[in-house]
Structure 1
Amino acid sequence: MALSADAWYIGLLGLAESFRTSSPPDIRGCVRCLQAVFSFRPPTRVEARTHLQLGNILLNHTTNTDLAVNHLELSWMLSQTIPNGFDDVKFEAASVLAEVYEQQSQSTLSKPTLRKAIELSQHNVYWHCRLIFQLAQIHATEKDYEIASSLLGVGVDYAHISNAHYTRVLFLLSRGMLLLIDKKIQEVLPLLNQAGHLVDSWSGSLHQKEYLKVYFLVLQVCHYLMAGQVKSVKPCLKQLQQSIQTIMSPTWPSDEAVCGSCVGDMFLWMPKEHLYVLVYLVTVMHSMQAGYMDKAHKYTDKALTQIDKLKIVDNKPILSVFQLMLLEHMIMCRLVTGNKSAALQEISAGAALCRANPKLLARHRPQLHTLLGLYAMSMNCMEAAEAQFNAAISSSQERELWTFANLNLAIVYIRGKREAELNALLEHINPENLPSNSHSLRAAAYYVQGLQAFFQARYNEAKRYLRETLKMANAEDLNRLTSCSLVLLGHIFLSLNNSRESMNMVTPAMQLASKIPDVHVQLWASAILKDLYRLCGEQARETETFQMHCNFSQMLLKDHFQSTQMPEHELIQWTGGELPEPPAALIGTTLHSQQEASYSGT
């Protein structure tokens, strides 16, 4: 007896699945079976589902993206004609299709697809929330923060009326994250307070509460760090570190278990392994701003090791973002501690990451130029430093980075005695009218004004600016700014022949610089101490500090020479366009080896 068409396509679907799940999978056989299903003119439901299966398989196992998109488009179109139900096929097709459009930089196609799907999914809590998150992400990537924030606000209200309480807090925290990125500081505070209250009073799953707490604390820590409040952030950072240890403990359930059984609550901000790396990253950011270079180095190494392990399993794009941000902070750490050759290797490693990912380069180009400017300035290549800082300024829309680059550019002009260019820049770095709200950058702006007054021999004015820097730096434990300000005050008092006051400034500067450790401040302080001991007639101490000064100087000179011989040094000439290809010697090198300026200019 002849088989019916139903039996044929059902048999083909079963055969396709057996090919897909065989070891190793027979993808070619699977695709052929699924394509053959259409020959039997199956019902619309089966046809739509089969197109979705083919689209996913082609995306995951082949490079034929165009054919995959064709199948996904057919699935999305057909599933909309089915009157009731069929949500999983319909909305998965829309979601995956929009994702592929985004990868192809076709947001004019992805956004209407998601809007239509959101409109159709209001009866389905899971898919409605998921699609809102996805559309908000696209707008955020395009820096349409107001639209993205508005969508997340809709998500907050929808989750609330749908009794998806956990997802409501996720929407709320995601909105807070966007406001932070958009520097809407006044708007973010009440929202964070509301989210914090909801987390504290959470009466549901303890696992969900701890997960939401980590998300909330990450935002709080970032809020303080963006404001340059290094001391104020410590209690939040400590809580965050304790919470992540709880989540990473062996007794903690899987991410799926954290979401629970409520269909509207099946979302995570990011997997716990990624959260673990993120906590390392914000700890490194704090250590850099506070001036704890050894601690920043230690946590960076741990985070990079973790990223390497995660990339072997699943190389998600967010891991490269974390890796690049860690390298950026490590580079600044190296420059402070006088290890320019290692900084240069890490700049090259960061450039390699950007070269492999054009979107990463687009977002981090200003940071790369800034790092190359700091490196060039440490190498006394002032023309290159100026070009790099100008490239960073022209390509950056971030107020903090823009201000940071301008402050360092001002130091280049001060050291070069280029008063006309400096005067044109002064309005951008006036501490009383700074574009950035950052406490640390405002303190740094006072330091730069003090440095300018010192170079112009306006000593009383310089002292006034530097005392303001010290007051602000001490209030928030900005150790590097404190040491730089103390040593410059010591230099000023030495110039005024006030040996006692000079000693009172330089001695704590030297102690603090050795803890950081900041080799440049130690070099500067040892030169002043040598002169002070000579004036006091303390020959033994003069000899000791002279030897110390020589040791720092020789170490820096040796590293300076080594850096000039490295092929990566040529990167300081890159000021625009595509990143130059790496020198042949770098191919195969491992990648293992922002807001703290090289303020002293020494």
Structure 2
Amino acid sequence: MSLINNNDNQSCYMALMSMAEEFRTQTPPDMRSCVQCLLASLNVSTHPAIEAKTHLHLGNILLHFTTNLDKSQSHLEKAWYLSQSVPNCEELMLESASLLAMVYEKKNEIQMSKQILTKAIEESQHWIFWHSRLLFQLAQIHANEKEYLLASNILSIGADYANMSGAHYTRILFLLSKGMTLMIDRRLTEVHPVLSLAGQLVETWNGNLQMKEALKVYFLVLQVCHHLNAGQVKSVKPCLKLLQQSIQSITAYHSEDDYVNVNPNDMFIWMPREHMCVLVYLVTVLHSMQAGYMDKAQKYTEKALMQIDKLKAVGNHPMLNTFQLLLLEHIAMCRLVMGNRTLAIKETVQALQICYGDPKLKIRHKPLIHALLGMYAMSMNLMDAAEAQLATALRTPSACTELRVMTSLNLAIVYLRNKREKELNDLLAKLNPETLPSVSQSLKAAAFYVLGLNSFFQSRYNDAKRYLRETLKMANGEDLNRLTSCSLVLLGHIFYSSGNSRESMNMVTPAMQLASKIPDIHVQLWATALLKDLYGQFGEQSRQQEAIQMHHSFSQMLINDHYQASQLPEHNYIHMANGEDLNRLTSCSLVLLGHIFYSSGNSRESMNMVTPAMQLASKIPDIHVQLWATALLKDLYGQFGESSRQQEAIQMHHSFSQMLINDHYQASQLPEHNYIHWFDSPDAE
């Protein structure tokens, strides 16, 4: 009888697992039914190893396809504890630990995540793949917590372990990841030897060709970023060209199935190749922007954003949000240079909305978004708002050194335009190019330019020329076209003010040519203002008329764009320097985006928008957004099979609805309510 029961149990279990797999792999996947089958299989008496594996599957699905982290944690903890007591379940145990660490990290239980990974690393010494994977995961958590020294030490351990284990591809990945961590931590003297060793190993590695090209892309991306961080726009060109060639080689491969003859311990892909394409577009945008090729930056941004939209339609990987955010931030800066403030403020606010969908992104990018709002306000001649935004960016702890310098330089210009001499002098004392905390050549050149601009406004023309020549020397050395054009037109203005019209013309003419190439509408406006007077002095009437027309055209473009930008709802964000003041606009935008995604059938993306909208609305509190959000959440939780959360959302929605109905009735009974029917003041009657 016992044998028959065992056979029946096994048949029942296999049937449920087959159904679960069928639901999981159908198009579109039916994860709710899949989970129900897996849960049902737990009621069938099976071997503890099979039970542990079922809990692992459930935890994995709940982690990746629902927002119910508590249930995912419960199943993964059961898998973790069961697998430790069953022989020959080491891989199951290690996978459970890896997934459980992800759950703890998502719940912000960072210490728990570190503890279970440390324990699993101790248990995985003889499992090369899992030991390496767990080391990568622990290093990532330390890096996310800005514990870069610990992260780089773990990556060093991983590189040594992979080398001793014969996993040479994985060793290179550890070294490249260490190089990236050192760059983030600004331990720049240690970066070069690590990247040099990694580069040599990439060249001599004789493994799978597609994996080798992927390693080259990783290495070259780090090389390009290392040069760009130092403001070496010209020096980076050979690396950037090699990077673009490597990504073309990778995209020539037909599928991910090209991974053949690969060491099973080297089965790591640092980034999917579709994401690599976006990353190469992104670093090309960064280079184009620093070099002053705004049209090129705009072209590659559009290509990258189109690629991101395609990838998001398949699955919204968190890395795509980071790429999209970086692209929006940088293209917004390009738009300001090109005089398109209307698009700049829209893209800045779009970046802000992405931040509010991910708390970590919000912390990391908040200072840059405030700086962007400040620069936008500067372009709109709203200096008080600009000062408030830039000051907020500087007060934000997560602002990096380069951003602080860039923001301070812009704030110095605000003080200069507002004639705030004391604040300006105090700030300029910290912006001495010789002692600047940044290694960036472009920021040092920009600091010389701001000093030159200040000297010009004080009519200290010799000092101004000295500073601007330093800017030109550095800018010409690294092809920093925008700084070159700004310096040339300012030098032209100085010579014009000194009565040296010939020398002024020699400066303004190339400034205008460069500004047209960028294009930089502000330098073009400035240059044509000088040229129309200079051509008049030299009696060149046809050229003078041409300059007058061009100046009028640039002026009208800026006036029209100024008006259009000022009418946008996004324009109001400049008056909200305190991050908390942004919450209402952000919550409204997020819940509307959530509704749009819901109407389009994209429930997962809808949930990603509505959840933070609800959190923000509760914090304000804004009952209208709460009502709207709970109306969506009750349907979304229903779709995801989260019955308890669905009931909670239904109750909350009913509560908010009743509060508004009751308040509506009470307000309508008040004598003051009748004032809404008066079109003049009561005294007018």
The equivalent of 1:71 in structure 2 is 75
- CA distance in 1 between partners of 2:103 and 2:317 (Å): 16
Match of 2:130 among 119, 127, 141: 127
| CA distances 1:67-114 after superposition (whole Å, capped 9, x unpaired) | 22111111111212234x322211111111110111111111111010
Change (3 A) 1:134 1:419: same
Of 485-494 and 543-552, more deviation after overlay is shown by 543-552
8 Å CA contact retained: 2:332, 2:344:
yes
- CA distance in 1 between partners of 2:9 and 2:455 (Å): 84
| CA distances 1:328-363 after superposition (whole Å, capped 9, x unpaired) | 111011101111111111112112211222221111
- Displacement after TM superposition at 1:17 (Å): 1.5
- Displacement after TM superposition at 1:53 (Å): 2.3
| CA distances 1:231-279 after superposition (whole Å, capped 9, x unpaired) | 0000000000011001001x3541x643743121000110000000000
1:283-322 map, 5 Å: 283-322=284-323
- TM (norm. structure 2) is 0.83
- CA distance in 1 between partners of 2:43 and 2:21 (Å): 23
8 Å CA contact retained: 1:19, 1:26:
no
1:467-546 map, 5 Å: 467-546=469-548
Matched, 1:337 2:341: no
8 Å CA contact retained: 2:55, 2:76:
yes
| Runs of 4+ more than 6 Å apart | 583-586
SS at match of 2:579: coil
SS at match of 2:564: helix
Match of 1:55 among 56, 59, 68: 59
Of 285-294 and 37-46, more deviation after overlay is shown by 37-46
- The aligned length equals 588
Q: Which amino acid aligns with 1:11?
A: S
SS at match of 1:192: helix
- CA distance in 2 between partners of 1:12 and 1:136 (Å): 42
- Displacement after TM superposition at 1:422 (Å): 0.7
Of 272-281 and 349-358, more deviation after overlay is shown by 349-358
Unaligned runs of 5+ in 2: 598-685
| CA distances 1:427-471 after superposition (whole Å, capped 9, x unpaired) | 321101001000100000000000010010000000000000000
- CA distance in 2 between partners of 1:457 and 1:27 (Å): 72
| CA distances 1:27-63 after superposition (whole Å, capped 9, x unpaired) | 5665455445555654332232222123223334544
SS at match of 2:126: coil
The equivalent of 1:10 in structure 2 is 10
- TM (norm. structure 1) is 0.94
The equivalent of 1:148 in structure 2 is 151
Matched, 1:21 2:11: no
SS at match of 1:122: coil
Of 65-74 and 442-451, more deviation after overlay is shown by 65-74
Change (3 A) 1:372 1:31: closer
| CA distances 1:3-36 after superposition (whole Å, capped 9, x unpaired) | 5453344223212222213355665665455445
- CA distance in 2 between partners of 1:409 and 1:529 (Å): 29
Identity, % of aligned positions: 59
| CA distances 1:118-170 after superposition (whole Å, capped 9, x unpaired) | 10000000100001111111111111111111110010000000000000000
- CA distance in 1 between partners of 2:449 and 2:32 (Å): 66
- CA distance in 1 between partners of 2:260 and 2:563 (Å): 56
| CA distances 1:485-540 after superposition (whole Å, capped 9, x unpaired) | 00000000011101111010000000110110100000001111112122223333
Matched, 1:203 2:234: no
8 Å CA contact retained: 2:17, 2:37:
no
1:389-404 map, 5 Å: 389-395=390-396, 396-404=398-406
- CA distance in 1 between partners of 2:30 and 2:351 (Å): 38
Q: Which amino acid aligns with 2:472?
A: L
Change (3 A) 1:4 1:147: farther
Change (3 A) 1:60 1:219: closer
- CA distance in 1 between partners of 2:57 and 2:260 (Å): 26
Of 31-40 and 323-332, more deviation after overlay is shown by 31-40
| CA distances 1:381-400 after superposition (whole Å, capped 9, x unpaired) | 00111111111111144110
Change (3 A) 1:497 1:61: closer
8 Å CA contact retained: 1:259, 1:266:
no
8 Å CA contact retained: 1:259, 1:265:
no
- CA distance in 2 between partners of 1:373 and 1:60 (Å): 38
The equivalent of 1:213 in structure 2 is 216
- Displacement after TM superposition at 1:300 (Å): 0.4
- Displacement after TM superposition at 1:420 (Å): 0.1
CA RMSD of aligned residues (A): 2.1
SS at match of 1:143: coil
- CA distance in 2 between partners of 1:76 and 1:67 (Å): 14
